[in-house]
A and B are shown apart, each in its own frame.
Chain A
Amino acid sequence: MNKRDLDNTLAIFKREFLSYFNSPVLYVIVVIYLLASMGFTFFFGRFLESDNASLTQPFFFWHPWIYIVLAPAVGMRLWSEEHRLGTFELLMTMPLSPWQAIIGKFVAAALVWLIGLALTFPVVLTVYWLGSPDLGPIVTGYIASYLYALGCLAVTSAASAFTRSQVVCFIVSVALCILLTLIGYPGIVDTVVRTVPASLESIVRLISYLSFMDHFYEMSKGIFVFRDVLYFLSVIVVALLVTHLGLRSKRA
Chain B
Amino acid sequence: MIQVQNLRKVFGSKVAVDNVSFTVEKGQVLGFLGPNGAGKSTSMRMVTGYFRPTAGSISIGGVNMLEDPETAKRSIGYLPENAPLYSDMTVASFLGFCAEMRGLTGTARSKAVDRVLELCFLGNVRNQSVDTLSKGYRHRTCFAQSIIHDPDVLILDEPTDGLDPNQKHEVRGLIKRMGENKAIIFSTHILEEVEAACSRAIIIDRGRVVADGTPDELKKSVPGCNSLDEVFRAITRPDTVK
Q: Which residues of A pack against B, CB within 8 Å?
A: 4, 7-8, 11-12, 14-15, 19, 22-23, 85-97, 251-252
Q: Is the CB–CB distance between B101 and A8 below 8 Å? A: yes
Interface string of B63-79 (1 = CB under 8 A from A): 00000001101101010
Q: Which residues of B contact A88 (CB under 8 A)?
A: 84
A-B contacts, 14 of them at CB < 8 A, read: A4-B103, A8-B101, A11-B101, A15-B97, A19-B89, A85-B84, A87-B85, A88-B84, A89-B80, A89-B84, A93-B76, A94-B73, A94-B101, A252-B51
Nearest B residue to A94 by beta-carbon distance? B101
Q: Which residues of A contact B142 (CB under 8 A)?
A: 90
Q: Is the interface of B mostly helix, strand, loop or mixed?
A: loop
Task: Point out the residue from A11, A23, A252 that lies within 8 Å of B88, measured CB to CB.
Answer: A23
Q: Is the CB–CB distance between B101 and A251 below 8 Å? A: no
User: How far is the CB of B49 from the nearest CB of chain A, in Å?
Assistant: 6
A91–B97 CA distance with the chains assembled, in angstroms: 11
User: How far is the CB of A52 from the nearest CB of chain B, in Å?
Assistant: 45
Nearest A residue to B83 by beta-carbon distance? A86
Q: Is the CB–CB distance between B52 and A252 below 8 Å? A: yes
Q: Is the CB–CB distance between B70 and A96 below 8 Å? A: yes
Interface string of B54-68 (1 = CB under 8 A from A): 000000000000000
A66–B6 CA distance with the chains assembled, in angstroms: 54
With contacts A19-B88, A96-B70 known, is A89 near B45, CB below 8 A? yes
Interface string of B175-218 (1 = CB under 8 A from A): 00000000000000000000000000000000000000000000
A93–B101 CA distance with the chains assembled, in angstroms: 11
Q: Is the CB–CB distance between B100 and A7 below 8 Å? A: yes
A3–B73 CA distance with the chains assembled, in angstroms: 18
Asked whether any CB of chain A lies closer than 8 Å to the CB of B132, the reply is no
A36–B48 CA distance with the chains assembled, in angstroms: 47
Q: Which residues of B contact A89 (CB under 8 A)?
A: 45, 50, 80, 84
With contacts A85-B87, A89-B50 known, is A95 near B70, CB below 8 A? yes
Q: Which residues of B contact A90 (CB under 8 A)?
A: 78, 80, 84, 142, 145
Q: Is the CB–CB distance between A93 and B84 below 8 Å? A: no
User: How far is the CB of B64 from the nearest CB of chain A, in Å?
Assistant: 14
Q: Which residues of B contact A94 (CB under 8 A)?
A: 73, 98, 101-102
A45–B79 CA distance with the chains assembled, in angstroms: 55
Asked whether any CB of chain A lies closer than 8 Å to the CB of B86, the reply is yes
Asked whether any CB of chain A lies closer than 8 Å to the CB of B19, the reply is no
Q: Which residues of B pack against A, CB within 8 Å?
A: 45, 48-52, 70-71, 73-74, 76, 78, 80, 82, 84-89, 97-98, 100-103, 105, 142, 145
Q: Which residues of B contact A8 (CB under 8 A)?
A: 101
Q: Which residues of A contact B48 (CB under 8 A)?
A: 93
Q: Which residues of A contact B89 (CB under 8 A)?
A: 15, 19, 22
Q: Which residues of A contact B71 (CB under 8 A)?
A: 95
User: How far is the CB of B94 from the nearest CB of chain A, in Å?
Assistant: 9
User: How far is the CB of A4 from the nearest CB of chain B, in Å?
Assistant: 7
Task: Point out the residue from A23, A86, A96, A97 that lies within 8 Å of B101, measured CB to CB.
Answer: A96
A94–B105 CA distance with the chains assembled, in angstroms: 16
Q: Which residues of A contact B49 (CB under 8 A)?
A: 92-93
A146–B51 CA distance with the chains assembled, in angstroms: 37
Q: Is the CB–CB distance between A87 and B102 below 8 Å? A: no
Q: Which residues of A contact B86 (CB under 8 A)?
A: 15, 19, 85, 87
User: How far is the CB of B59 from the nearest CB of chain A, in Å?
Assistant: 16
Q: Is the CB–CB distance between A97 and B70 below 8 Å? A: yes
User: How far is the CB of A107 from the nearest CB of chain B, in Å?
Assistant: 16
Nearest B residue to A22 by beta-carbon distance? B88
Q: Which residues of A contact B82 (CB under 8 A)?
A: 86
Q: Which residues of B contact A251 (CB under 8 A)?
A: 50-52
User: How far is the CB of A20 from the nearest CB of chain B, in Å?
Assistant: 9
Q: Which residues of B contact A11 (CB under 8 A)?
A: 97, 100-101
A63–B239 CA distance with the chains assembled, in angstroms: 57
With contacts A15-B86, A86-B80, A87-B86 known, is A92 near B102, CB below 8 A? no
Q: Which residues of A contact B80 (CB under 8 A)?
A: 86, 89-90, 93
Q: Is the CB–CB distance between A93 and B50 below 8 Å? A: yes
Q: Which residues of A contact B100 (CB under 8 A)?
A: 7, 11
A186–B90 CA distance with the chains assembled, in angstroms: 49
Q: Which residues of B contact A252 (CB under 8 A)?
A: 51-52
A94–B97 CA distance with the chains assembled, in angstroms: 11
